[in-house]
């Protein structure tokens, strides 16, 4: 009996030892397997942030869209600075209204053409510069500076503010603000004063004629 109990204890002790060795082996091999698998997961699934950055670098920015009002403002400036680029039909609506300081509004292409012809008769050449251009909604505001060579007169400086209302890509209403005295034609010089005419001397009556004396009377 003692021999059997001793053999059983030996087998139990050996089993405990074997289990301890197996457990130790599992502890050592577990982290190694985990480390080996980690790179495979990182390689197969790239990070979301890196993919987003790559897509952003590859994407092209959309071209900035120019509005119709912006395009009209550019045409106004180009046509004013360089009259050869001006086209009444392309820039103004058929029923456009144009108002100058102290004058009634002119309506229609024919009236605008007459106004431009009058401007051509007033000056021999004008240099324009747009200081500022403002756009809000369908309204364009332009602050102008100009040197105007008056026909038959001096070159004067003109400061003007123009307001244009746009609809359908064309000007439908415009108003100009400036001092009309800046471009008034030179006043004609009065003729030099003439010396007053001297009055004519009154005619003297003729002296009466007497016959010569008779020698006998002497």
Instruction: Please give the domain boundaries of the chain with CATH numbers for all domains.
Output: 68-183 (3.10.450.50)
Q: How confident is the prediction for the chain on average, in pLDDT?
A: 79
Average pLDDT of the residues in 173-189: 85
- Which residue did the predictor score with more confidence, 108 or 206? 108
Quickly state the pLDDT bin for 208 (edges 50, 70, 90): low
Lowest mean pLDDT among 2-11, 32-41, 135-144, 167-176: 32-41
Note the pLDDT tens digit of each residue in 106-163.
Answer: 999 999 999 999 999 999 999 999 999 999 999 999 999 999 999 988 999 999 999 9
Average pLDDT of the residues in 3-9: 59
Note the pLDDT tens digit of each residue in 64-79.
Answer: 556 899 999 999 999 9
Q: Please say if the pLDDT value at position 37 is more than 60.
A: no
Quickly state the pLDDT bin for 8 (edges 50, 70, 90): low
Quickly state the pLDDT bin for 23 (edges 50, 70, 90): low
Residue pair 113/88 in contact (Cβ under 8 Å)? The answer is yes
pTM: 0.58
């Amino acid at each position: 009996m003692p021999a059997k109990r001793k053999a059983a204890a030996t087998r139990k002790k050996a089993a405990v030892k074997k289990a301890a060795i197996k457990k130790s082996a599992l502890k050592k091999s577990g982290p190694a397997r985990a480390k080996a698998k980690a790179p495979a997961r990182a390689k197969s699934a790239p990070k979301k942030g890196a993919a987003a950055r790559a897509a952003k670098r590859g994407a092209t920015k959309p071209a900035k869209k120019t509005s119709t009002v912006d395009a009209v403002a550019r045409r106004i400036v180009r046509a004013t600075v360089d009259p050869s680029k001006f086209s009444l039909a392309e820039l103004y609506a058929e029923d456009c209204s144009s108002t100058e300081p102290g004058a009634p509004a002119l309506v229609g292409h024919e009236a605008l053409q007459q106004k431009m012809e009058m401007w051509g008769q007033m000056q021999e050449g004008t240099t324009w510069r747009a200081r500022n251009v403002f756009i809000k909604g369908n309204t364009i505001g332009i602050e102008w500076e100009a040197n105007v060579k008056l026909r038959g007169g001096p070159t004067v400086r003109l400061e003007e503010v123009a307001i244009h209302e746009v609809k359908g890509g064309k000007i439908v209403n415009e108003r100009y603000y400036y001092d009309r005295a800046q471009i008034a034609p030179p006043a004609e010089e009065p003729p030099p004063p003439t010396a007053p005419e001297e009055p004519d001397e009154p005619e003297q009556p003729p002296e009466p004629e007497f016959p010569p004396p008779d020698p006998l009377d002497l």
